[in-house]
Each structure stands twice: as C-alpha cells, then as structure tokens.
Amino acid sequence: MASQLSSIETLANQEYKWGFITDIEADTVPAGLNEDIIRLISARKNEPEFMLEWRLKAYRHWLTMEEPTWANIHYPPINYQEIIYYSAPKTNKDRPKSLDEVDPELLQTYEKLGIPLHEREALAGVAVDAVFDSVSVATTFKGKLSELGIIFCSFSEAVRDHPQLVKKYLGSVVPPSDNFFAALNAAVFTDGSFCYIPKGVRCPMELSTYFRINAKDTGQFERTLIVAEDGAHVSYLEGCTAPVRDENQLHAAVVELVALNNATIKYSTVQNWYPGDKEGKGGIYNFVTKRGKCLGANSKISWTQVETGSAITWKYPSCLLMGDNSVGEFYSVALTNNYQQADTGTKMIHMGRNTRSTIVSKGISAGRGQNTYRGAVKILKGAEGARNYSQCDSMLLGDKCGAHTFPYLEVKNTSSSVEHEASTSKIGEDQIFYCRQRGISTEDAVGMIVNGFCKEVFRELPMEFAVEAQKLLGVSLEGSVG
C-alpha cells in the first residue's frame, strides 16, 4: 500500500532528523518499559511536547499503581518488561506472500463467515499491492466526510494536524490515572482513531476502522477518541467479525467518547480475536477501558458489543450521564467457549436530571467458559427523576461452564427508579426435540435458539454487522454441542 510505505519512509527520515542513534532495527524498540522508551515512542511519532509530557506523567503514575485482581478471571502474571511497546507497521516482506501460507483453519472460518476473497487476504495480513475495492471505497468516503467537516483519521495524524482538539479532549473521559491499564495505555499507546463531528452534522455513513486503511497494525495499545459537537450524530463500528491474525497477547486499549448538547454517538464493537486453542493455550488478553461522557443536555451514548473472541475479555463500556436528559445504553452479547473467560458489563453513572439508562446483557457459556456480568448503576444526589432498567440473562451450554452476575445498584436519589433483572437458563431438551422433529440438526437448532436469545442485542447492531454476528455465534459455538 502506497500510503503505508510512504509513512514508513517518513518515519525513517524523522528518526535521523531528531538525531536518534540506536543500534537496533529501524522499526522496533527494545522490549521493556522505561522513560527512554516512552521518549523514543513520542519522538518516533513526531509528537508535540505536550504529548510527551502527558505520556510521562501517565507512566510515573502507572509505576505507583498495582495491577487489579478483583475481576473474576485468572491468568498468569504479565511481565511488562518483556513487551515490545513500539513497532512500526510491518513491511510487506514479513507478511505471508499469499493465502497459501495462511493457517488453513483460519481460512475455513473465513469460508464459513462468507467473507469475500480479497477481504480474506487483507484480514490474514497478506501483502496486497493491488488497489482493491475497499481501498477505493475508502478514498471516496474520505472525500465525502471532509466536505462535511468531519475529521476521521489516525490518532497520530490528529496529534499532528489537530493538536488543539486532542489537547482539549484527550484524557478528559478516561484520565491516565483512572486505572492500571488505562495508565499503561496513556504512557505507551502507539496509534488509534480520532473522530470529530462538527456542530449539527449528521455523519452520512457508519464510520469504521475497516475503511481507514492505515488503521492496520495500530498495535496492542490503541486509543480512540470520538467527539460529537452540539447536535452531531455518528455511528462508529469497531472490529470485524473475522478472526484477526495478531501476535500481541496483551491488548489494553482505551476508548473515549464525548457527546455535547443534543449529540448522539453509537459505538458498536464486534470482537473476535484469537481465543486460544481448545486446551486454552494462547489467545489474546483484551483488557480495555471504554467510557463515554454525555456532557451536554439531551445527549446520547449507546454501546453495542458482541464479544466472542479473546482468551480473556475484561471491559466495561460505561456512560457518565452528566447532561440533563442524557441517555446511556449498553447492549452486549458475550460468548465464552472452551477455556475462554469474560468479565464484562457496564457502569452507568447518573449525575444530570432525568437521565436514563438501559442495560441489556446476554452471556453465553459453553465448554469450560466462564462468563461474568459485572455492572454498576449509580444514581447520584442531583440526578432527579433518573431511570435505569437492566436485564442480564445467561445461558449455559454444558455442565463445565459457569455464569456469574455481579450487579451493583447504588441509589442516592429518591425520585429515581432502578430496576434490575437477571435470569439463567439452558436450552431445553423439548426445544431441541421440536427442531429435530422438523429436520433441523442439533447444531443448527442450538445456533437458532442462541441467536433468538441474543436478538435484542443484535437488533441494535448496524444491518450488515447483525447478519455477520449471527453467523459468528454459530461458528464460535462449534463443537460445544453433542
């Protein structure tokens, strides 16, 4: 890809310009974490002074923090000095030359999901020189967006081209001191997405990293910032249904959303990173901090997530409902199979008057998977007339898996009303029997029933995502029945 190559070139030139002399390869830094590494990352990325200061402050704070242990997940201790914190986008020579060199199991999955051939190549990280459809689509899209004044670019570009905006909003929702992984991310994040929707603009299309060609290889510490000005409206898609080839084990991303008066942000995630093999070896640790701030009156932030991948998923997309009449929503499907673990949920903090929130969470456990819903609903003193409705349902497939629910409801205002409901169930033998009678195989029947169970969440997904998500559940559940 031309733009990628040229950005590598620029990076290389910059190194010399800033006078860094290191005896290592041009596009990686040594493993480990210290202030020099952070300075190096910042310099490589040609960042302004304030960013470096911000990173160092975060790093110094991180040093004083302890890794949290309260989550209902288990993993061997992570050695933070063994991780390589910066590597520039891969050159074509490191990638598989063609699909023939790619893991056949991965290809089978693509086949089942019905992914077009050239997209498979991109997903598997095959070096593609030819400009294929989606790239040209991306360019057309970019033109359209800039006409409307929408800024949609990589984080590095944003730091370079819109430092004022970045300075104003970076860390305003998830401050670097927020938690252990957010601090780590703030210190070492390499790239991510930045999106700014100006006043009164309704983004004409679903924004997706998939269309931002330079989004590839943003590394394990990603940072996303979306700002919707007064009356703006945007729908953002993250991830994709196909399993993504990735060597990094720890992913500690941060996502910040800011919605001003009357603005709406819809953030949809489909996460299907490598979950490890059937014995639970390998797999991605997905420790993410996602938070949205409904700063303005009548603003709305809606999170939708389908989490089927990763060995461990640990994330709580949250909403700070500060503006009066603001609305927070959280729709989630989390599926754990084999040895996967998920501890996920949301936090709805009601501060403004007449704020409303809805939580719908569906957890499916199969194999030896452990699925935890952990959510907090806080109604603070000033949140007159606040309302919350939460529902979290779990489904268990097999007798070796587990489902756990930990909802925290804290109410400090009497004019508010809070409801929480949870249930756990399994697929009834009578349901399977009914399907089998009608010639539907057990596996398909389970797929159908599970999809029905998740329907309330899938309904919230953008159309094309919803279709893929259904197929994805089927594929992820394979081997868990009969």
Partner 1 sequence: MMAAATSELQEIRRRAAESFETRGYPTKRDEEWKYTSVSAIAKAQFPAEAPSLTGNSLRTALEQHPGLIEEHLGRYASSEENAFVALNTAHFEDGAFLHVPRNTVVEEPVWIDYTAVPDRTTHPRNLIVVGANSQVRIVERYRGSGRYFTNAVTEIVAGENSVVEHVKLEEESAQSFHVATIQVHQARNSNFKSHNISFGGLLVRNDVNAVLSTGCEGTLNGLYLATGKQHIDNHTALDHAAPHAASHELYKGILDGISTGVFNGKIYVRKDAQKTDAKQTNKNLVLSPGATINTKPELQILADDVRCTHGATVGQLDEEALFYLRARGIGEIEARDVLIYAFARDVIERIGIPEIREYLEKALFERLVFSRQSSGGAL
Q: Is 405 in the site for partner 1 (CB under 8 A)?
A: yes
> Which residues on adjacent β-strands are paired with residue 270?
239, 306
Select from 82, 111, 410, 444 the one that contacts partner 1 (CB under 8 A): 410
Q: Enumerate residues 6+ apart whose C-beta is below 8 A from 240.
A: 123, 210, 270, 272
Count, in order, helices (H) and strands (E) of the chain.
13, 20
- Burial level of 249, CB count in 10 A (0-12/13-18/19+)? middle
Q: State the minimum distance, in angstroms, from the CB of residue 65 to partner 1.
A: 16
305 versus 388: smaller Cβ distance to partner 1 = 388
398 lines the binding site for partner 1 (CB under 8 A): yes
Which two structure tokens, joined as six digits, stand for 205?
Answer: 């299309």
Q: Which is nearer to partner 1, 20 or 408 (CB)?
A: 408
Residue 244 interacts with partner 1 (CB under 8 A)?
no
Question: Which of 163/382 has CB closer to partner 1?
Answer: 382
Q: Which of 332, 336, 416, 470 binds partner 1 (CB under 8 A)?
A: 416
Alpha carbons 394 and 400: distance in angstroms, whole number:
15
Instruction: Indicate which single residue of 18, 408, 433, 434 sits in contact with partner 1 (rule: CB under 8 A).
Output: 408
Site of tokens 């389908």: 306
Min dist. Cβ of residue 437 to partner 1 (A): 22
Sole window of 91-99, 122-130, 418-426, 433-441 interacting with partner 1 (rule: CB under 8 A): 418-426
> 244 or 473: whose CB is closer to partner 1?
473
Largest CA distance in the chain: 74
Rule CB under 8 A: say whether 413 interacts with partner 1.
Answer: yes
The angle that helices 35-44 and 49-63 make with each other, rounded to 10 degrees, is 150
Q: How far is the CB of 387 from partner 1 (least distance, A)?
A: 10
Cβ distance to partner 1 smaller for residue 110 or 373: 373
Which one of residues 25, 101, 277, 421 is an interface residue with partner 1 (CB under 8 A)?
421
Q: How far is CA 170 from the centre of its chain?
A: 17
How far is residue 254 from each of residues 191, 385, 467, measured CA to CA in Å?
11, 31, 27
Separation of CA 216 from chain center = 14
The C-alpha angle 106, 109, 113, rounded to 5 degrees, equals: 140
Does residue 399 touch partner 1 according to CB under 8 A? yes
Nearer to partner 1, 99 or 409 (CB): 409
> For 20-26, which contacts have Cβ atoms below 8 Å and span 24 or more sequence positions?
20/44, 26/88
Residue 409 binds partner 1 (CB under 8 A): yes
Q: From CA 196, how far away is CA 139, in angstroms rounded?
A: 18
**How far from 380 is each of 174, 260, 327, CA to CA, in Å?**
20, 20, 15
Binding mask 33-72 for partner 1 (x = CB under 8 A): -------------------------------------x--
For partner 1, which is the closer residue by CB, 269 or 341?
341
Q: Are strands 387-397 and 233-239 parallel, antiparallel or unpaired?
A: unpaired
Listed ranges 253-261, 335-343, 408-416, 471-479: which one lies at the site for partner 1 (CB under 8 A): 408-416
Question: Which residues are bridge partners to 264 per DSSP?
Answer: 233, 300
Minimal distance, residue 470 CB to partner 1, in Å: 23
Q: Could you say whether residue 394 binds partner 1 (CB under 8 A)?
A: yes
Candidates 117-125, 165-173, 412-420, 465-473 — which segment interacts with partner 1 by CB under 8 A? Answer: 412-420
Q: How far apart are CA 376 and CA 345, in angstroms?
A: 8
Among 78, 407, 471, 475, binds partner 1 (CB under 8 A): 407
| Site track for partner 1 across 363-382, x = CB under 8 A | ----------------x---
Q: Which of 277, 419, 444, 464 binds partner 1 (CB under 8 A)?
A: 419
Q: How far is the CB of 372 from partner 1 (least distance, A)?
A: 9
99, 422, 432, 448: which one binds partner 1 (CB under 8 A): 422
CA distance 123 to 244: 6
Nearer to partner 1, 173 or 334 (CB): 334
- Taking the C-alpha atoms of residue 475 and residue 482, their distance in angstroms, rounded to an integer, is 15
Q: Which residues pair with 184 in a beta bridge?
A: none
Question: Shortest approach of partner 1 to residue 370 CB, angstroms?
Answer: 9
- Strand, helix or coil at 351? coil
Q: Which residues bind partner 1 (CB under 8 A)?
A: 70, 379, 394, 396-426
